[in-house]
A and B are shown apart, each in its own frame.
Chain A
Amino acid sequence: MRKGLAGQRLVAMFIAGVLLLNFPLLSLFDRPVTLFGLPLLHVYLFTVWGGLIAAVGWIVERGAR
């Protein structure tokens, strides 16, 4: 698993996370728009964060079997 697919997936998730949670992608969502009454930026950050956790969880728990 260490050198296997799961390890590479985790690195890919890490890179994706770094890109999604930083400039310049982050700046795309910093605009005065609301989603369900919440600011777009906050919704975006928490959604990406949650998605990242879910993906990492899926990768590692899958590899555990």
Chain B
Amino acid sequence: MLPGWLIIGTSFAYLLTLFAVAYFGDRRADQGRSVIDNAWTYGLSLAVYCTAWTYFGSVGRAASGGIWFLPTYLGPTLGMALAWLVVLKMIRIARSHRITSIADFIASRYGKSHMLGGLVTVIAVVGIVPYIALQLKAISSAYALLAEDAASPLPVGESVAWWMDSTLYIALTLAAFTVLFGTRHLDTTERHEGMVAAIAFESVVKLLAFLAVGVYVTYGLYDGFGDLYARAAAHPDLASLLVFDSTGKIGYGGWFAHVLLAMLSVIFLPRQFQIAVVENVNEQHLRRATWLFPAYLLAINIFVIPIALGGLLHFGQGTVDPDTFVLTLPLAHDNAALALFVFIGGLSAATGMVIVEAIALSTMVCNDLVMPILLRSRRLGLSAQRDLTRLLLGIRRGAIVGVLLLGYLYFRLAGEAYALVSIGLISFAAVAQFAPAMLGGMYWRNGTRDGAFAGLLAGFLVWAYTLLLPSFAKSGWLDPAFLDDGLFGLAWLRPEQLFGLAGLDNISHALFWSLFANIGCYVFVSLLRVPTTAEAGQGALFVNVFRRGDSPPAGFWRGRAEVADLIPLVARFLGQRRTEEAFRTYARSRGVDGMDKLKADPDLVHFAESLLAGAIGSASARVMVSTVVQEEPLGLGEVMDILDEASQVRAYSHQLEEKSRELEAATAELRAANDKLKELDRLKDDFMSSVTHELRTPLTSIRALSEMMLDDPDIDVDDRQRFLGIIVSETVRLTRLVNQVLDLAKIEAGHAEWHNTDIDMRELVTHAIEATRQLFRDRDAEIGLELPDAVPMLRADHDRLLQVMLNLLSNAAKFVPAQGGRVDVRLTADEGRIRVDVRDNGPGIAPELEAVIFQKFRQGGDERSRPQGTGLGLPISRQIVEHFGGRLWLESIPGDGATFSFELPLPPAADGE
């Protein structure tokens, strides 16, 4: 329909435009005004997910299965909802460890292992090559359709010799293009700003092209969505496309598996990792991408079903390959310009995928497959001082060309055997194998290298057996018999019904078994042993990446290095200019003048290692750095130092604990003292109120009588005499009260004056009885006295002891009954002490009052019968006795009198006398 030169010319013009965009992006990046430092660009570049498979294959899928093209795009929507949690963590990890590919990520996480990196690379290459073949196939069949007759499906590539095959030249063109894009120079971060700009541009082009053909079919050829659906519903063959599961084979389980598969692949496809993680400029861009990218997918899928229905309605079933409807529909309606635009869109989708995927794979192949082998072969590892940047670039370029040629080979061999959509899903299932090791590595510390290796290997083998081999068999490379009969004729080994598991489509079946084996081996093998230091260290760094600051993970590194060794080493891989630039920036960030003044401390070694990691992968970087850095194992001395430090810390903490215990004790004491003070304060208040109360009573009567006499001069002389008598006695009582209060206060405060003399207690007791004899006579009470013949002399204050005796005797006198009252006084002396008992036959004192009567202002007896007194006699007596080291107490039986006794210790010196 269109001349070949026009198509090829347009294609090249488009590729040149892309290159211009990329060049512009790189230029701006060098000037520091990045065009991709923009959330919209980032979101659009993620749409590299939509390949030629989406572009052509979705329609094909919709034409055969209806709504079943959709899970591939619903999965990413769900996956992106979690991107802010999962992908953000990956970006942070990748940045702090300079990780540039999935292989490097996994290798670095599990102790910088070469083996793991190599295995991941092999899985990625094997899984992705068919996918690249798919892109080549899409472009070449589209070209063939456009260039020749549109009405018939064309066999492409098979009938011609390989050197005549246009697909080969497409592959080579793309390879050249990718080399120009991706490996113009080596970069420590593996970032390709120009490429990302070109990818974002391509995303716009393919979306516009697809929307253009969608609008053309829906509204140009038909009368909108409703019209198309109505016609399809009326068509007996097409009506089944409008329900969920027209074939009834796959079911909802398959639907779920497809959603899950797409969800995993949107994160773990190498090209998605490259764009989303490695090429990310700013973490915050991820926010917009979480909705912009799914919105893009929604937009590009709106017209899929209308185009499929339109194509089926126009061509009927089985005449034209539905994968090509987007081209054949415009061509059939003589709209060649639109067809050319659609072709460019498809080219855009395919080239975008191929470029990014080839760059991602070449990084992996170079850093995790070729470099480790080269480093191990002695010749190169030790050939000093040679500049290896050219070699590195050469390896990368070779890898890109190699990957594309492999893709071509696969295309050439597989040919038409498989529909586009199946190849894509096989690749998805391969990269889904990375999920356990990656996610486990990010959230589970205990994953070990062996576990990751076993899981990946098991998953990969199961995938190969259940998906890859059957696809080979269906292509005719293998005897298809083993599909039906199983390996070695064992039915339970049938690859698509492993262990007899039927009822699933091949993709869900393979996904289940491979992830089952993968996760199972990963977890169980990881749990077999404790992680090594390297694994545990990296595990902690990965899992806790958000908790650490941006400081480099130096850790327990001990070693000796020379700056003069490190810089040339890095320069061998990165080139002299870039290396010096990097080290100078580092020196500046450290506040050092020049890079020759840098000290080779652990931080610098880590910096050099991460620079190298960007270029040759973390495992190889570790190996290279270790050639110039003598890492010293921790010696016994250092271990002892560390232990010393630890024990010091322990001692400090002990001291601290001690201190805090002491403080607690002091606090308790203070609290007790405070309580006591409060109690004393309360007692003082009580005392004050009691004293004032006692003072007020006599004052009141004195005042009342005085006022009466003052107001009434005509008062009787007798009355006046009586009143004055009362006033005098009240005044006496007042004086006594004040004296006693002062006394008590003095004794309590320790200010009382004591005039100690030798006392004969016999004399003192007799004297006291004589002094109170009148009192007893007034009460008609008898008084009995019982004295020993002689008692030792006592050294004390005579007047004070007399005061005690008088007090006890007057108390006794107060309480004896009016008739037949009797008081007995007894003095005894025994070893070291002298004792006086004063017994009355009064009413006695109730036990509950025994303690009370020794308190100030408390008197025995009930209110009515309370005798005259201040209520201070007993407290004062007790204070006096206690001052001399003795004690005063009460024994009482209610109703049968009370006995007040006190005893005083005899001074040792007195014994001799």
* Chain A interface residues toward B at CB < 8 A: 1-2, 6-7, 10-11, 13-14, 17-18, 21-24, 26-27, 30, 32, 34, 36-39, 41-42, 45-46, 49-50, 52-54, 56-57, 60-61, 63-64
Within 8 Å of chain A (Cβ to Cβ): is B294? yes
Asked if B225 and A37 sit within 8 Å, CB to CB, the answer is: yes
CB within 8 Å of A: which B276-327 residues? 284, 287-288, 290-292, 294-295, 298, 302, 305
* Contacts of B413-460 to chain A: CB distance below 8 A: none
- Interface segment, one of B70-78, B682-690, B818-826: B70-78
* 29 CB-based A-B contacts, threshold 8 Å: A1-B84, A2-B84, A6-B84, A7-B85, A10-B85, A10-B290, A14-B78, A14-B82, A22-B259, A23-B255, A26-B252, A30-B243, A30-B244, A34-B229, A34-B233, A37-B225, A39-B229, A39-B233, A41-B243, A45-B67, A45-B70, A46-B298, A49-B74, A53-B291, A56-B290, A57-B290, A60-B291, A61-B287, A64-B287
Q: How far is the CA of A9 from the CA of B879 in the complex (A)?
A: 79
User: Nearest B residue to A39 by beta-carbon distance?
Assistant: B242
Knowing A13-B81, A17-B81, A39-B243, say if A27 contacts B252 (CB, 8 Å): yes
CA distance A1 to B256 in the complex (A): 30
B726 contacts the other chain (Cβ, under 8 Å)? no
* Chain B, Cβ-Cβ closest to A49: B298
What is the minimal beta-carbon distance from A65 to any residue of chain B, in angstroms?
Answer: 11
Distance in angstroms between the alpha carbons of A57 and B256 in the assembled complex: 24
Question: Given A38-B226, A53-B295, 19 other A-B contacts at CB below 8 A?
Answer: A2-B85, A2-B88, A7-B85, A10-B84, A13-B81, A18-B78, A22-B252, A22-B256, A23-B256, A26-B252, A27-B252, A36-B226, A37-B230, A38-B229, A39-B242, A41-B244, A42-B305, A52-B294, A64-B284
Contact A61 B88 (CB under 8 A): no
A interface: dominant SS? helix
How many B residues have CB within 8 A of the partner chain?
A: 37
- B88: A residues at CB distance < 8 A: 2
B493 part of interface (Cβ distance < 8 Å): no
Residue B80, interface by CB 8 Å: yes
Residues of A within 8 A of B284 (CB): 64
Closest 9 A/B residue pairs (Cβ): A23-B252, A57-B291, A37-B226, A30-B244, A14-B81, A60-B287, A39-B242, A53-B294, A17-B78
Which among B80, B84, B291 is the interface contact of A7 at CB below 8 angstroms? B84
**Known contacts A49-B74, A53-B294, A57-B295: A37-B229 contact under CB 8 Å:** yes
- Interface pair B80/A56, CB less than 8 Å apart: yes
Q: Give chain B residues whose Cβ lies under 8 Å from the Cβ of A22.
A: 252, 255-256, 259
B779 to chain A, nearest CB (A): 92
A5 to chain B, nearest CB (A): 12
Closest CB-CB distance, A58 to chain B, in whole Å?
A: 8
Contact B243 A32, beta carbon cutoff 8 Å: yes
B12 in contact (CB, < 8 A): no
Dominant secondary structure of chain B at its interface with chain A: helix
Q: Which residues of B contact A7 (CB under 8 A)?
A: 84-85
Q: Is B546 an interface residue when CB atoms closer than 8 A count as contact? A: yes
Residues in A whose Cβ lies below 8 Å from that of B253 = 23
- Give A1 Cβ to nearest chain B Cβ, in Å: 8
Contact flag A42-B290 (CB < 8 Å), given A21-B259, A50-B298, A64-B284: no
Q: How far is the CA of A63 from the CA of B787 in the complex (A)?
A: 103
In the assembled complex, the CB of B281 is this many whole angstroms from the nearest CB of chain A, namely 16
Is B81 within 8 A of A27, CB to CB?
Answer: no
CA distance A18 to B259 in the complex (A): 9
Q: Is the CB of A60 within 8 A of B84?
A: yes
State the Cβ distance, B746 to closest chain A Cβ, in Å. 73
The answer to whether A11 touches B82, judged by C-beta atoms less than 8 angstroms apart, is: yes
A interface footprint on B54-84 (CB within 8 Å = 1, 0 otherwise): 0000000000000100100010011011101
**Which chain B residue shows the least CB distance to A6?**
B84
Provide the residues of chain A in CB contact with B245, threshold 8 Å: 30
Given contacts A36-B226, A45-B70, A53-B294, contact A10 B82 (CB under 8 A): yes
Chain B residues whose CB sits within 8 angstroms of the CB of A37 once the complex forms: 225-226, 229-230
Question: Once the chains bind, are A21 and B74 in contact (CB under 8 Å)?
Answer: yes
A7–B302 CA distance with the chains assembled, in angstroms: 29
B672 vs chain A, min Cβ distance (A): 48
How many angstroms between the C-alpha atoms of A46 and B242 in the bound complex? 14
- Shortest C-beta distance, A13 to chain B (Å), equals 5
Closest-by-CB residue of A relative to B227 is: A37
Chain B residue with Cβ nearest A52:
B77
Within 8 Å CB of A6, what residues of B? Answer: 84
Evaluate contact between B77 and A17: CB separation under 8 angstroms: yes
Task: Write the chain A residue with the least CB distance to B256.
Answer: A22
Contact of B225 among A38, A57, A61, A64 (CB under 8 A): A38
Chain B residues with CB under 8 A of A13: 81
A21 to B72, alpha carbons, bound, how many Å?
Answer: 12
C-alpha gap A18/B255 in the complex (Å): 11
Of all chain B residues, the one with the shortest Cβ separation from A50 is B298
Per-residue CB proximity of B163-200 to A under 8 Å, as 1/0?
A: 00000000000000000000000000000000000000
A29 to chain B, nearest CB (A): 8
Chain B minimum-CB-distance residue to A21? B74
Interface bits B208-240 vs A (CB < 8 Å: 1, else 0): 000000000000000001100110010000000
A39-B900 Cα distance, complex, nearest whole Å: 112
A-side contacts of B294, CB under 8 Å: 49, 52-53, 56
**Bound Cα distance A63, B81 (Å):** 14
Contacts of B225 in A (CB 8 A): 37-38
**How close is B63's CB to chain A, nearest CB, in angstroms?**
15
Closest to A9 in B: B81
Binary interface profile of B, 75-113, with partner A (CB < 8 Å = 1, else 0)? 001101110110010000000000000000000000000
Q: How far is the CA of A1 from the CA of B286 in the complex (A)?
A: 13
Q: Which residue of A lies closest to B230 (CB)?
A: A37
Distance between Cα atoms of A60 and B66 in the complex (Å)? 33
A46 touches which of B81, B243, B291, B302 (Cβ 8 Å): B302
Tell me which residues from 483 to 529 in chain B have a Cβ below 8 Å from any Cβ of chain A: none
Interface centre among B80, B84, B295 (most CB of A within 10 A): B84
- CB-defined contacts of B77 to chain A, threshold 8 Å: 17, 49, 52-53
Chain A contacts for B255, CB-based, 8 A: 22-23, 26
